[in-house]
């Protein structure tokens, strides 16, 4: 029987709770979701929005990525809480560091993916997570970066210059009505990275409410171009339903300033 894939649909995958251990001695909590029946074709390491405004590993685009992409696209999804961040999965050690000590969190996530022999690692940052990606994600193990709603708040021109010099692909998905950086200005700012692709998403806002499917399709097109898009909107196999009430006190609206 074919089932419509809804916001709380959980498709089959191998899911395991993980811990990341940083070089400065902090333990971070997370989850790795992998395809059940095959080796992954690519890996997403997700860096979430600002934790002081509700951002976490369960922020809705990342939750949907982990619940859908292993089955629909054969992609592994690693998501975790940066230091001091809480979600249903638990609380990561340490304290929010305004994009300073988070460098160790990014390094620990990349290292975990590398040691787990996960292929074709792409960093997917959202808002605050885009700054972490640009500042600390230029690692030999990383294939490229996908930026959702980049505010370019903590990152500096020198970070853009480093990505430009390295040549790795960078895609910025910029909402038409973003609160911080809209498509026209994003084109100007990212001109510092010649290989950067700026994709304006018509009608979208910073939080991507109602536009998660568009975002997931754009991510898959970059990280796993061999996968047919747009992704299916129905599923012909077993299907679970997530508990949306578990996130009621951590809604996407709570991080409007991320």
pLDDT, residue 247, reads 60
Q: Is there a contact between 83 and 26 (Cβ–Cβ < 8 Å)?
A: yes
Q: What is the mean pLDDT of residues 121-136?
A: 98
- Dist CA 77 CA 63 (whole Å): 9
In order of 23, 29, 52, 106, the CA distances from 96 in angstroms are 16, 14, 8, 13
Q: What is the mean pLDDT of residues 188-205?
A: 98
Tell me: pLDDT of 125 over 60: yes
Confidence of residue 133 (pLDDT cuts 50, 70, 90): very high
Q: Is there a contact between 47 and 133 (Cβ–Cβ < 8 Å)?
A: yes
Give the count of beta carbons closer than 10 Å to the beta carbon of residue 164: 17
Give the count of beta carbons closer than 10 Å to the beta carbon of residue 229: 15
Confidence of residue 252 (pLDDT cuts 50, 70, 90): very low
Element (H, E) at 198: strand 196-201
- CA 139 and chain centroid, separation: 16
Q: What is the mean pLDDT of residues 198-210?
A: 97
Query: Mean pLDDT across the chain, nearest whole number?
Result: 94
Confidence of residue 246 (pLDDT cuts 50, 70, 90): low
Token match 């990606």: residue? 133
- Dist CA 174 CA 176 (whole Å): 6
Residues pairing with 90 in the sheet = 87
Confidence of residue 241 (pLDDT cuts 50, 70, 90): very high
pLDDT, residue 243, reads 80
Tell me: pLDDT of 232 over 70: yes
Tell me: pLDDT of 251 over 80: no
Taking only the tens place, the pLDDT of each residue in 51-70 is 999 999 999 999 999 999 99
Structure-token pair, residue 251: 């809604």
Give the count of beta carbons closer than 10 Å to the beta carbon of residue 123: 31
pTM attached to this predicted model: 0.95
User: From its phi and psi, is residue 106 left (phi > 0), alpha (psi between -120 and 50) or beta?
Assistant: alpha
Preceding omega of 230 cis (within 30 degrees of 0):
yes
Confidence of residue 245 (pLDDT cuts 50, 70, 90): low
Sequence-distant (≥ 6) Cβ neighbours of residue 131 within 8 angstroms: 99, 125, 150, 151, 152, 153, 154, 155
Tell me: pLDDT of 79 over 60: yes
Tell me: pLDDT of 203 over 60: yes
What is the side-by-side strand order in the sheet with 14-21? 14-21, 27-34, 75-80, 42-47, 121-126, 142-148, 170-175, 196-201
Q: Is there a contact between 36 and 78 (Cβ–Cβ < 8 Å)?
A: no
pLDDT, residue 167, reads 98
SS3 (DSSP) at 55:
coil
- The domains found in the chain, sorted by start residue, are 3-225 (3.40.50.1820)
Q: What is the mean pLDDT of residues 14-28?
A: 98
Confidence of residue 229 (pLDDT cuts 50, 70, 90): very high
Token match 């959980």: residue? 10
């Amino acid at each position: 029987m074919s089932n419509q894939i809804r916001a709380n649909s959980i498709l089959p995958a191998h899911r395991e709770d993980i811990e990341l251990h940083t070089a400065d001695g902090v333990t971070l909590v997370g989850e790795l979701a992998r395809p059940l029946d095959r080796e992954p074709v690519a890996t997403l390491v997700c860096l979430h929005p600002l934790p002081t405004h509700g951002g976490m590993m369960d922020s809705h685009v990342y939750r949907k990525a982990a619940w859908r992409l292993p089955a629909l696209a054969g992609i592994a999804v690693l998501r975790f809480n940066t230091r001091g961040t809480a979600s249903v999965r638990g609380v990561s050690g340490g304290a929010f560091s305004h994009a300073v000590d988070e460098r160790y969190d990014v390094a620990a996530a990349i290292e975990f993916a590398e040691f787990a022999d996960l292929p074709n690692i792409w960093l997917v940052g959202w808002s605050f997570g885009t700054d972490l990606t640009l500042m600390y994600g230029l690692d030999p193990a990383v294939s490229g970066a996908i930026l959702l709603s980049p505010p370019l708040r903590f990152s500096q021109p020198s970070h853009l210059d480093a990505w430009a010099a390295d040549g790795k692909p960078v895609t910025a998905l910029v909402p038409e009505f973003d609160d911080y950086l809209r498509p026209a200005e994003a084109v100007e700012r990212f001109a510092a990275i010649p290989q950067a692709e700026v994709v304006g998403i018509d009608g979208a806002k910073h939080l991507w409410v109602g536009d998660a499917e568009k975002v997931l399709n754009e991510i898959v097109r970059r990280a796993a171009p061999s996968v047919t898009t747009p992704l299916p909107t129905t599923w012909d196999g077993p299907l679970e339903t997530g508990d949306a009430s578990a996130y009621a006190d951590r809604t996407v609206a709570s991080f409007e300033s991320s």
